[in-house]
């Protein structure tokens, strides 16, 4: 499917989700950690949690916004999708190695997988050469 607008929408929604999770993890790390079964009982645990849930996810949101603003450069959005698909891969690996997670993890797994695949499926529309818009 080719639609720059749909791809921008997907990139924007995904960026918003990552930014909101990062913000919530910054403000209420213990509550956010409990939601996925973590216990943050030490400064080291808080540091690791903030590194991923705040630092990496905020950086992911920024990359998604860059990809949204430069939607014609499909590789940018594809790299964002690959980053998200990495989470899906890790969850599948855990499923095989560790067993089935609780029901609270499944919605995240499904959203990550569907969102990443959707970004790969929805391609940017053909770029309009400069000066030819409106002809």
Residue-wise pLDDT for 70-99, tens only, equals 999 999 999 999 999 999 999 999 999 999
CA 25 to chain centre: 15
pLDDT 10s digits, 103-130: 888 999 999 999 999 999 999 997 655 5
Residue 2 zone, left/alpha/beta (φ > 0; ψ -120 to 50; rest): beta
Closest CA to 10 of 94, 121, 87: 121
Mean pLDDT of 44-68: 96
- Examine the pLDDT at 57 and tell me if it is beyond 50: yes
> In this model, does residue 52 exceed pLDDT 50?
yes
pLDDT of 133 = 45
Write out the two tokens for 124. Answer: 């940017």
Mean pLDDT of 21-30: 96
Judge whether 11 and 77 are in contact, CB under 8 Å. Answer: yes
């Amino acid at each position: 499917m080719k639609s720059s607008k749909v791809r921008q929408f997907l990139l924007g929604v995904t960026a918003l989700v990552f930014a909101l999770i990062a913000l919530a993890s910054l403000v209420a790390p213990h509550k956010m950690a409990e939601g996925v079964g973590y216990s943050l009982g030490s400064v080291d645990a808080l540091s690791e949690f903030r590194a991923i849930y705040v630092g990496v996810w905020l950086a992911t949101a920024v990359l998604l916004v860059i990809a949204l603003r430069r939607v014609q450069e499909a590789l940018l959005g594809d790299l964002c999708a690959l980053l998200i698909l990495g989470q899906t891969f890790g969850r599948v690996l855990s499923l095989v190695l560790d067993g089935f997670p609780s029901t609270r993890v499944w919605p995240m797994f499904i959203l990550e997988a569907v969102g990443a695949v959707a970004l790969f499926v929805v391609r940017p529309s053909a770029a309009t050469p400069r000066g030819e818009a409106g002809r």
